[in-house]
Every structure is written in structure tokens, then in C-alpha cells.
A and B are shown apart, each in its own frame.
Chain A
Amino acid sequence: AQSVTQLGSHVSVSEGALVLLRCNYSSSVPPYLFWYVQYPNQGLQLLLKYTTGATLVKGINGFEAEFKKSETSFHLTKPSAHMSDAAEYFCAVRNNNNDMRFGAGTRLTVKP
């Protein structure tokens, strides 16, 4: 069965600093990979996804992630954090059977 590990349940950065949220996955087949964001009292919304092709994927709000098969990683980055980026971020993996699993989440805090 596939699984997702997000390193760091809480990450705190200063406004304007680099954001790096780590995600490692296990899957027996080439996976589809996703990052979702959850703002307080809301459902999840998609930030970006990797299906096939270019391994560097750009998403909304300036976020991007790189699929590294050799490292089984899909880390999320943003060059410069904004106060509005404060939220919980979830990495997810899905296989061809449509079985989708999420990580435990990383809460991002942005300090002024």
C-alpha cells in the first residue's frame, strides 16, 4: 500500500523567507502526486499536482514542487513567504486504482 510522510508537523518562517515543506512517498508504481492547502474552517484546495512529464511543477500562489523519483520525494517550495500563506499543507499520493492517501499535514506559520 502506498503512503506519505511529511517531515515536520509545524514549520515557521519569517515573511519573505523561503518556504520548504517536505514530502516523501512510497508507492509500488509511478504515482500521481498532489499538494493541497487547507485554510482555517475550510476544505482542502489543490495547490499543484504531478502526473507525467516535467518534474518541476508550478502551482497557484507562487508555489512549486519537484518530483524526484530517485529520492521518492515531492517537496513544496515558495521563494518568498507571505502572511496569507499561513495554513495547513497536505501532500498526497494516488495510484492508478484511484486509491489516494494523504500525509499527516504540515502547519505553516509566517512571522511578520
Chain B
Amino acid sequence: KAGVTQTPRYLIKTRGQQVTLSCSPISGHRSVSWYQQTPGQGLQFLFEYFSETQRNKGNFPGRFSGRQFSNSRSEMNVSTLELGDSALYLCASSQGQPEEKLFFGSGTQLSVL
């Protein structure tokens, strides 16, 4: 079974641009979560999608948005990029039950110049 796949692996953007990150979950998984990881801040929860619906949302500004497609693949979009958006963005998938573990991708490293 293929793992969680995130593309691209690395991304360099400039302030004011927008970016779209992609996540393909493990086959059969219906839940996809997104996290922002920065040194010293740990993993900050962005949002979780389950069966194409946003089920949970963290405390990020509206510039951060996401969606999930019928095949459970998910995209995350950040508009009007700021320097502080530089981070590792991690995607995780599961079947969607709270007692289950999350399977993480290797992340997309976003650098905003």
C-alpha cells in the first residue's frame, strides 16, 4: 500500500504570491488533516477534511484554505504569502475515527522570500 504522498517536496515563493500544496492519502482513508510545522512551535493544526467536508479547523487566518476531492485527495492553498508562512506543511490521513493513528507524509517545505 502506498503511503501518504505530498507534492511538491520543496517550494520557493515570494511575498504576495499564492501557493497550492497537494496531498494524496493512503487508499481507503477518508480523513485528511493539514499541519504547519515550524521550529519551536511544533505542529499547528490547520484543518481536517472528511468525505469532502471540513470537519475541524484550527486558528489560522482565512488566507489558508483547503478542499478535498471525491477521491479523498486534498489540496491546501495559501494566498498572499507572508514571510512567516515559511514552514514545513504536513499532511496526514486516516480512516477518520478518533482512536486511530495518523499516517503522515514527508511534507512540503515552503520558503517565502
A interface with B by C-beta (< 8 Å):
6, 9, 32, 34, 36, 41-46, 49, 51, 90, 94-105
Q: Is the CB of B56 within 8 A of A42?
A: no
In the complex, how many angstroms separate the beta carbon of B12 from the nearest chain A beta carbon?
17
Q: List 28 A-B contacts (CB under 8 A).
A: A32-B98, A34-B101, A41-B106, A42-B106, A43-B4, A43-B104, A44-B43, A44-B92, A44-B102, A44-B104, A46-B102, A94-B98, A95-B98, A97-B98, A98-B48, A98-B50, A98-B56, A98-B96, A98-B97, A99-B45, A99-B56, A100-B102, A101-B45, A102-B45, A103-B42, A104-B40, A104-B41, A105-B43
Known contacts: A43-B4, A43-B104, A45-B104. The answer to whether A98 contacts B45 by CB under 8 A is no
The CA of A9 and the CA of B41, in the complex, are separated in Å by 10
What is the total number of residues of chain B having a CB less than 8 Å from a CB of chain A? 25
**Contacts of B107 on A, CB cut-off 8 Å?**
43
B interface with A by C-beta (< 8 Å):
4, 31, 33, 35, 40-43, 45, 48, 50, 55-56, 90, 92, 96-99, 101-102, 104-107
Q: Is the CB of B45 within 8 A of A100?
A: yes
**Contacts of A95 on B, CB cut-off 8 Å?**
98
Smallest CB-CB A-B distances: 3 pairs: A43-B104, A104-B42, A102-B43
**Contacts of B99 on A, CB cut-off 8 Å?**
32, 49, 51
Q: Is the CB of B98 within 8 A of A90?
A: no
- Nearest A residue (CB) for B59: A1
In the complex, how many angstroms separate the beta carbon of A49 from the nearest chain B beta carbon?
6
